[in-house]
Every structure is written in C-alpha cells, then in structure tokens.
C-alpha cells in the first residue's frame, strides 16, 4: 500500500523528495543524457571511455584473455531451444540507443507481430576494441538465464559485418531516467527496486555468474513497473575468482581497483552503491569534476567518511549500505557464511515478502506511461542515418570465426 501511494510522487516529484543534487550536475544530465560509461582493461562495452591512461600510470593493465586461468565453473546450459533468426524476419522501427560498437533498434516480428529490441554490434569495432570475449560472454550468459527480473535473449545471428542479438523490448526505459527525473526515491521505492535487483543477482550467483556492471542505466522498467536487468557485456561465469578491471567507476569495489582477485561479492558492493544513489540522488563517491585517480583513492579508503543525511537515509538503510560497501570482502554482506540470506534478512528489508515479489505479485511503485505495444517514447530519439540499410550485405569477413555461436543468415 505504501509503495502504491508513492507512484504519484514519483511521477510528480515535489520539494520534499528533492536531494541536494547540484544544478550543474542536472544540466549535464539533461544535455548529454548523464549516462556513465562502463570501463574495462579491454576497452568498453557501449562507452567511448577507451583511454587506458584513465586508470593511472601506476595501475597495471590486466588482459583477461591473455592471462586467463582455467575455471572449474559449472557448465551453463541454455534454457530455451536455439532458434534460427534472419534480419528479414523483422521490421526495423527506430533506434533505441547508440554506442561505440553499433546501436539498439526497436523491431517488430513479421511472424508473431511482437516487438523486440535487436542489438547490432559491428564486428570490426568489437575486435579492434578487444571486446571479443566480453561479447561472446554476453551471448552465452543470456542464453543460459531465465528470470523474472532479467532480460531475455531470444536469438542471435551474424552477417559479414555485424552481430545481432534479439532481446526483449522493455518499454519503460531506464531506472536511471526515472531517478534523475525524481532527484531521489523515497525509502519504500528504493527498497522495492533494490529487492528486485537483489533477487536477480542472487539468481545469477547461483549459476556461477558475476554480473559486474550494476548501475541504474542497466536496470530497465517493464510495462508493469517491474525491473529487467540488462547489458551483460561484462558478465562472466566464474567458479571462484577473476581479476579484470571492468565496470562503472562509481560502482567499482575496492578490490577491483586494487587489481586483486575478486568474486561475486563485487555485485553486492555495487548494490550498496545503487541503494545509496537511489536514496540520495548521487552515488556516494560522486565527483563533479571527473578525476578517476581521486575517485579510486576515495573508494579504496572505504565508506567511513560518506555522508548519510537523515532526511534521505533511515538508520536501517545506512546500516545495510555500510555492510554491503564493506572494504574487506570477507566481511561484506552477501559474501559471508549465509550468503545472500544476510542481505535479504536485514531489517531494512523486513517488510518485503520475497516470494510474492519474485512472482511479481507486489504492485510496482511507478507504472511507465505506455500508450500501447511498441511505444518507445521512454527512450531518447537518435538520428537514424539509414544505418539499417547496410545490414545484411555480403562482403569480406575476417572476424566471423571469432564468434562461433552466432549463426550466419546470409551468403558470405
């Protein structure tokens, strides 16, 4: 009931919900989208932040492909039959987003008339930016997961120039957009989204998958207001630990920055950052001026000096955030003896009915304004530039063998 009462406030935020977000930050967000790029020692997924100097001259760059350790992780099993898809099966409607490798299109199936999102990646750019492993990981991870709060991958294929992944169209847009429009969320609303993200993370960890790029930009809102975690470009199946520096700077755990081996606890650390950002409007180590070296120093120093204004944080919320952001992974909630049970049993989540929530039987606090099927008004408009006319063409292909699971749908 309390969540339902918050819906109007989210759609029409008032002064009582406003956080001390600087006007400078808001103007940056409105002019450029405010989206934070994800970084990696192997360049980026959908970001232009590709200069390795951002890590600092003292930080060693680790290439996960060149320094791979044989993993004993359980083999992942696809959860749905592998379908055969062609570009001709779809009518391309419009662009939903763009990035360094390509773009995401809203499409409609000619067969069942349903709407989907197709992610198109240029193979030459993926290879040049050393994202082959991350791209193959995204396809393999999504093929093997099926959860109420995780986006579905329905099919994938390639032609001479591009890779294609057919996924759910999630019409409500990004949680990031809702958060920026609201400035910050009331406690019950942040709790709702945090709980659904927590269930998604726990499911992935049960499969041996580390997500590694949690942030509001990667949490989408479905038509019913429930979430879908998307963008698995940095997800990886790991039995014990891994070591690549990747993710979003504000959300990186201290052990990742320190180039130490790490495990799934980095996702729980990121959940602590997400809860803080939802309640306050900005992540705890936010800096107006981008200086990653200073940011990383603050993260490694730990959360002891983070401000928790009483107007935004209850005592229980502060306690959970501190336990999730614990600098020592062995003492971090989600990574101790009882695993995720410590997180779910925390007093901040006391009123959450986890079984009903996972069945989506709890009404979401905000329902996106959707005019009908295929309504993409929650997404920004992008110049189309007739790029789709280049899809499906034949020509030389020097890198197709690097993506063995993507079927060919045209003659080479």
- Please list the residue range(s) of the chain that carry CATH number 1.10.510.10: 2-55+174-358
Query: CB burial class (10 A; 0-12, 13-18, 19+) of residue 363?
Result: middle
Known catalytic residue at 187: no
pLDDT at 400: 95
Average pLDDT over residues 53-70: 34
pLDDT at 166: 96
Q: Is 128 annotated as a binding residue?
A: yes
Topology, domain 87-171+372-403: Phosphorylase Kinase; domain 1 (3.30.200)
- Please list the residue range(s) of the chain that carry CATH number 3.30.200.20: 87-171+372-403
Share of the chain above pLDDT 90, in %: 72
Query: pLDDT band at 79, cuts 50/70/90?
Result: confident
Whether the pLDDT of residue 232 is over 60: the answer is yes
**Which tokens hold the place of 366?**
């905000």
Which of 168, 187, 213, 342 is catalytic? The answer is 213
Whether the pLDDT of residue 234 is over 50: the answer is yes
Q: What's the CATH number for 2-55+174-358?
A: 1.10.510.10
Whole-model pTM? 0.85
C-alpha neighbours within 13 Å on the C-beta side of residue 161: 13
H or E element in which residue 256 lies: helix 254-257
**Which tokens hold the place of 207?**
């499969």
């Amino acid at each position: 009931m309390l969540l339902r009462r918050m819906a109007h406030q989210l759609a029409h935020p008032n002064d009582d919900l406003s956080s001390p977000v600087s006007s400078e930050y808001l103007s940056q967000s409105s002019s450029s989208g405010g989206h934070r790029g994800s970084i990696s020692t192997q360049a980026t997924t959908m970001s232009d932040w590709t200069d390795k100097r951002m890590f600092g001259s003292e930080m060693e760059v680790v290439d996960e492909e060149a320094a791979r350790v044989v993993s004993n992780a359980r083999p992942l099993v696809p959860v749905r039959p592998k379908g055969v898809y062609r570009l001709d099966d779809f009518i391309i409607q419009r662009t939903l987003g763009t990035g360094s490798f390509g773009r995401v299109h809203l499409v409609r199936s000619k067969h069942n008339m349903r709407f989907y999102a197709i992610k198109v990646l240029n193979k030459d750019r993926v290879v040049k930016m050393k994202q082959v492993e991350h791209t193959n990981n995204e396809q393999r991870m999504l093929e093997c997961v099926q959860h109420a709060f995780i986006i579905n991958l329905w099919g994938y294929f390639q032609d001479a120039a591009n890779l294609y992944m057919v996924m759910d169209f999630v019409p409500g847009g990004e949680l990031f957009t809702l958060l920026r429009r609201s400035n910050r969320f009331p406690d019950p609303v942040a709790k709702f989204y945090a709980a659904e993200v927590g269930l998604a993370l726990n499911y992935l960890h049960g499969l041996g998958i580390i997500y590694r790029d949690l942030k509001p930009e990667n949490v989408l809102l479905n038509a019913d207001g429930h979430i879908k975690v998307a963008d698995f470009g940095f997800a990886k199946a790991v039995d014990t630990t891994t070591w690549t520096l990747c993710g979003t700077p504000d959300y990186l755990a201290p052990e990742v920055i320190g180039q130490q081996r790490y495990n799934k606890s980095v996702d729980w650390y990121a959940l602590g950052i997400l809860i803080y950002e939802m309640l306050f409007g900005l992540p705890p180590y936010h800096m107006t001026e981008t200086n990653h070296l200073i940011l990383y120093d603050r993260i490694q120093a730990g959360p002891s000096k983070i401000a928790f204004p009483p107007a935004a944080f209850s005592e229980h919320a502060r306690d959970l955030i501190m336990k999730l952001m614990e600098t020592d992974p062995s003492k971090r909630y989600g990574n101790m003896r009882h695993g995720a049970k410590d997180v779910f049993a925390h007093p901040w989540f006391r009123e959450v009915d986890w079984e009903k929530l996972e069945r989506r039987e709890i009404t979401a606090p905000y329902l996106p304004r959707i005019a009908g099927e295929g309504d993409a008004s929650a997404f920004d408009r992008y110049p189309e530039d007739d790029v789709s006319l280049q899809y499906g063409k034949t020509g030389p292909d020097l890198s197709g063998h690097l993506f063995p699971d993507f079927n060919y749908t045209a003659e080479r």
